[in-house]
Chain A
Amino acid sequence: MSQLPLRGWSRLLARRDIGILLLIAVTTAVVGFMDSRFISLDVWLGIFIRSAPTMIVACGVMAVILTGEIDISAGSLMALLAAVMGLLISQSKAALSLWIGIPAVLALGTAIGTGTGLLVSYGRVPSLVATLGLMTALRGLTTIVMGGKNIDGLPPALQDAAKRGWFGVPVSVWVASLVVLMTSLLFYRMPLGRRIYAAGSSPASARAAGLHIQRIQVFTFAWAGFLTAVATLVDVPRLPWIESGIGSDLELLVITCVVVGGVSISGGRGDLSSVLAAVVLMTMIRPVLTFLDVGEMGEKWTRAIQGVFILLAVIADQISIRFLWRKSAKVRR
């Protein structure tokens, strides 16, 4: 009776996360074969440290995309939050302001996310336009806030946590794990998460089921803003100083990961595990290029590879959807 086109092993292989993990494994094996230093704890810890902020932000942006909207302001938001954090807690009275500064940054991120959400849901501004405008505006604001100077002298405690962390693992990795745990709890174990999927899958049906789509949208944008703030707090102190260019192209990287992770841009479909795997895959590109000894020259291609990955991911989606559709149409009668 069932017309699922794939069964057993082929179904397992068709899963996006398994596919990406296989790709990671194959790449690792090939690069490791050419240079055995690639398969070492240090390299992989490095990859995880670099992927931590992307993972945190991706958890938020994924929620937005699941509702069928898009958020391309994450990078600029991170820059602004970094600047604000720097201003609040890098000056001399650090001990006190650390406890005010951190909540303030989190609150600011959440507030800006909520504002965007309100614009999109109740203001009916298309999310692309709203976040495109925000992207530039925030970038400009950041430079003004920083007054054209780089900020340094963050409290040592924060820098220590970001660089060395606990048990030799920087705090960003711990926090990323926590965020991933929370997000998977939200998506798969909480009513709200299921409603996010429902709202993206079919807004009309969601309305019929009595869901408040607008409130759900505001929440997802606020969640994205909050997580961007979290990522800022744990990742930016790693840097020697805060400059206005922080987070440039982060939004693109995050959307790439989400799309490559198989989240449908029209909403409702996508797994957290695939997105996380995609984050690792995307973060791997640069170290792999380094190890392949293409040097400076190869690293310049990172962005091009990212773009090609997005294209391949969407085209693959389209092909598989058509395939499924034809199959199900044939069996319907």
Chain B
Amino acid sequence: MTPAPDSDQSPVNRARFDQQSADQQQNSDSGPFRKSIFHDSGFRWWHEVAVFVLLVLVLMVAQELVPGFLNPRSQLLLSRHVWEMALISLGMMLIIITAGIDLSVGSTMGLCAVAFGVSFEMTSSILLSCLFCVLTGFGCGALNGALISRWRLHPLIVTLATYAAYRGIAEGWSQGHSWSGFGASFSQLSRGRLLGIPYPGLTFFALTVIAAIVLWKTPAGKHLSAMGYNEKAARFSGIRVDLNRFLLFCISGTLSGLAAVFYVARFDTAKADAGEGFELDAITAVVAGGTSIFGGRGNVIGTILGLLLIHETRQFVGRYWGIEELKSIFVGGLLISFVLIYQFLRPSGQRV
């Protein structure tokens, strides 16, 4: 199927692999398996523990330097900024687990916001507009997924193309126009609370629980992991790799649509620039949360911790130094250092 010559087939690779397995043999003289600090104990949460410790550290430092940083009310107030990104991260996590990537999420939000505005102008019905907005997101994701799974194109290049295309369509369609005045009841969607938690937060937690159940309690979760670790073996085990990949991008697109609804509600403005730069924040949160950028490993708890870490770091940097731009330096730096650390910490066999 693959037109390119299979690099695994080359004698050199074989030779290197042989070398490796020979080394393995030397280490395994003591028993049927090799000892490893990471897998001997069977404890697989080191990454989550590390992120948690880091998070606590950040919070402690922040509380020390910024009085009242940990105040629950201000924390909840500031949490408004995080929910849309959180929703997107959820879809991004699933895609990265399968060793894919989706760069188009932010642009999808922009297109969805414009779709919302246009349909509100036409129907002046909030409900229909929301529906249309989410459907647009679904369509965007489905197009990504179809291109990637049907043509076996690289997710990176497809979503890079749609990153430009969706934002471009949003700009072209809206012509710089922005829509607002959707009414107080609609903005209540982002401000209103149940049990002290804003509605977007509730949505996020509900979806997170579903994702956690799917990942841990259904075969689908294991299938996704298998796809990420070794797509070939997954195909050989009868897992419908292409279908799964398509569905994941549909989910990611739909979540972007949902995030766009909350975004529009929060600002009471629908504009083509909605969600700009969200793709980077989402990827950083997911990667910081211990999901391997090479696929396979990843879980919901890590992603929540990663989100919190990114969010709190940004809040702290913003409030302490008062410089907006410092945030992006921190986010970019965090992303690179997490991957770098992960590369050096993981057991040698997994290196790509």
State if A and B touch, Cβ cutoff 8 Å.
yes
Q: Using CB atoms and an 8 Å cutoff, list the residues of chain A in contact with chain B.
A: 70, 72, 119, 123-126, 128-130, 132-144, 202-205, 207-208, 249, 252, 255-256, 259, 265-266, 296-297, 300-308, 310-311, 314-315, 318, 321-322, 324-325
CA distance A23 to B302 in the complex (A): 50
B166 CB to nearest A CB, Å: 7
Report whether B157 and A129 are in contact in the complex, using a CB–CB cutoff of 8 Å.
no
Q: List 25 A-B contacts (CB under 8 A).
A: A119-B336, A123-B340, A129-B335, A132-B280, A133-B280, A134-B336, A136-B280, A137-B328, A140-B325, A144-B326, A202-B7, A208-B12, A265-B154, A265-B156, A300-B175, A303-B168, A304-B167, A304-B169, A306-B165, A307-B163, A307-B165, A307-B167, A314-B151, A314-B153, A315-B147
B83 CB to nearest A CB, Å: 21
In the A-B complex, the 6 residue pairs with the smallest Cβ-Cβ separation, listed nearest first, are: A307-B165, A304-B168, A303-B168, A137-B332, A307-B164, A140-B328
Nearest to B337 among chain A residues (CB) is A133
Report whether A136 and B332 are in contact in the complex, using a CB–CB cutoff of 8 Å.
yes
CA distance A296 to B174 in the complex (A): 12
Nearest to B8 among chain A residues (CB) is A204
Contact of B171 among A125, A126, A129, A300 (CB under 8 A): A300
Report whether A252 and B331 are in contact in the complex, using a CB–CB cutoff of 8 Å.
no
Report whether B336 and A130 are in contact in the complex, using a CB–CB cutoff of 8 Å.
yes
CA distance A207 to B13 in the complex (A): 9
Report whether B164 and A310 are in contact in the complex, using a CB–CB cutoff of 8 Å.
yes
B191 CB to nearest A CB, Å: 29
Please classify how large the interface on chain B is, using the bins under 10, 10 to 19, 20 to 34, 35 or more. Answer: 35 or more
Report whether B339 and A207 are in contact in the complex, using a CB–CB cutoff of 8 Å.
no
CA distance A249 to B165 in the complex (A): 13
Please judge, given known A-B contacts A128-B101, A136-B328, whether A255 and B160 are in contact too, CB under 8 Å: yes
Report whether B151 and A318 are in contact in the complex, using a CB–CB cutoff of 8 Å.
yes
CA distance A205 to B8 in the complex (A): 11
Report whether A125 and B168 are in contact in the complex, using a CB–CB cutoff of 8 Å.
no
Residues of chain A with a CB closer than 8 A to B325's CB? 139-144
Residues of chain B with a CB closer than 8 A to A310's CB? 157, 160-161, 164-165
B293 CB to nearest A CB, Å: 6
Nearest to B172 among chain A residues (CB) is A301
CA distance A307 to B160 in the complex (A): 8
Residues of chain B with a CB closer than 8 A to A308's CB? 161, 165
Q: Using CB atoms and an 8 Å cutoff, list the residues of chain B in contact with chain A.
A: 3-5, 7, 10-13, 101, 147, 151-154, 156-158, 160-169, 171-172, 174-176, 277, 280, 283-284, 287, 293-294, 323-329, 331-336, 339-340, 343, 351-352
Q: Which of B4, B166, B277 has the most CB of A within 10 A?
A: B4
Report whether A314 and B157 are in contact in the complex, using a CB–CB cutoff of 8 Å.
yes
Contact of A256 among B164, B332, B339 (CB under 8 A): B164
A146 CB to nearest B CB, Å: 10
Report whether B165 and A304 are in contact in the complex, using a CB–CB cutoff of 8 Å.
yes
Given A125-B343, A133-B336, 10 extra CB contacts under 8 A: A126-B293, A133-B280, A202-B5, A252-B164, A265-B157, A300-B171, A300-B175, A307-B168, A314-B158, A318-B153
Residues of chain A with a CB closer than 8 A to B328's CB? 136-137, 139-140
Nearest to A268 among chain B residues (CB) is B4
Contact of A203 among B7, B163, B171, B175 (CB under 8 A): B7
Report whether B329 and A137 are in contact in the complex, using a CB–CB cutoff of 8 Å.
yes
Residues of chain B with a CB closer than 8 A to A303's CB? 164-165, 167-168, 171-172
CA distance A213 to B162 in the complex (A): 31
Residues of chain A with a CB closer than 8 A to B334's CB? 133
Residues of chain A with a CB closer than 8 A to B332's CB? 132-138, 140
Report whether A204 and B333 are in contact in the complex, using a CB–CB cutoff of 8 Å.
no
Contact of A133 among B167, B323, B333 (CB under 8 A): B333
B162 CB to nearest A CB, Å: 6
Nearest to B3 among chain A residues (CB) is A325
Report whether A204 and B12 are in contact in the complex, using a CB–CB cutoff of 8 Å.
yes
CA distance A310 to B331 in the complex (A): 28
Report whether B3 and A322 are in contact in the complex, using a CB–CB cutoff of 8 Å.
yes
Residues of chain B with a CB closer than 8 A to A249's CB? 164
Contact of A314 among B3, B161, B166, B331 (CB under 8 A): B161
Report whether A311 and B147 are in contact in the complex, using a CB–CB cutoff of 8 Å.
yes
Residues of chain A with a CB closer than 8 A to B176's CB? 300
Report whether A321 and B101 are in contact in the complex, using a CB–CB cutoff of 8 Å.
no
CA distance A252 to B106 in the complex (A): 15
Q: Which of B277, B287, B323, B325 has the most CB of A within 10 A?
A: B325
Report whether B164 and A144 are in contact in the complex, using a CB–CB cutoff of 8 Å.
no
Nearest to A310 among chain B residues (CB) is B161
Please judge, given known A-B contacts A204-B7, A300-B175, whether A315 and B153 are in contact too, CB under 8 Å: yes
B288 CB to nearest A CB, Å: 11
